[in-house]
Amino acid sequence: MKFLNVPENGILPVTVPGAVWGWEAVLKRFGTLTFKEVLEPAVEYAQNGFPISERIAHDWRLPNALPLKACCTKPDPDSVRTWYVQGRPPQVGQIFKNPDLARAFHLLQAQGAAWRLTGGRYRQPYFVHPTNSSVFGVAAVWDRSESDGDDVIESCSIIRVPVNALLADIAGVQGHMLAILRRRDYQTWLRGTPVEARAVLRAYSAKLAAAS
């Protein structure tokens, strides 16, 4: 599905890539508590609930976000189930609970940020990185749009390409990986023609990567 502009509401303009891994990385480098201890207050609020404040009651009014094509005529039912109380916007003083978030946090407490569930089974994650550099760039597309109300929306989509030989056993032959750019291709991706930029989108050489 193609969009000339990023929709203002719904799932498309919202993305939090790697947030949990970021939390754990910051905690390991600067923190003094365990991941389990840090998450405990959030688990408590999500599981047992908290009273809705005036600000939350005012702000939690879900805009129409569906369908994705020719948007938007109705709210997202998953968002309604998550953020509303019995299908209606929360009112001041009501107790709000998020049991799904509590369950996710319990899994993170037990297994850390490496947790991933596939088909009901725990799957071992891998740290995949280039061996010839500690820092690398990936291909991405940025967009900026303004609504009639002068709201500015900036978005970024990271490009993926078919996996290389190293990742074939991890993600499967049908899987994808980030489009890691070679240093000499940076300027081509940023300043080249569309044809030139497309030509640098390829799986990163398996000989220059490792998985642990």
Q: Which two tokens stand for residue 154?
A: 């900036």
Residue ranges of domains in the chain: 126-212
Confidence of residue 10 (pLDDT cuts 50, 70, 90): low
- Mean of pLDDT values over 108-127: 62
Question: pLDDT at residue 119 above 50?
Answer: no
Among the four given CATH numbers 3.55.30.10, 3.30.590.10, 3.90.1680.10, 3.40.50.1000, the one describing domain 126-212: 3.90.1680.10
Q: Is the pLDDT of residue 68 over 80?
A: no
**For 138-178, how does the pLDDT look when each residue is reduced to its tens digit (9 = 90+)?**
899 888 887 777 777 888 888 888 888 888 776 665 678 88
Inform me whether the pLDDT recorded for 77 exceeds 50: yes
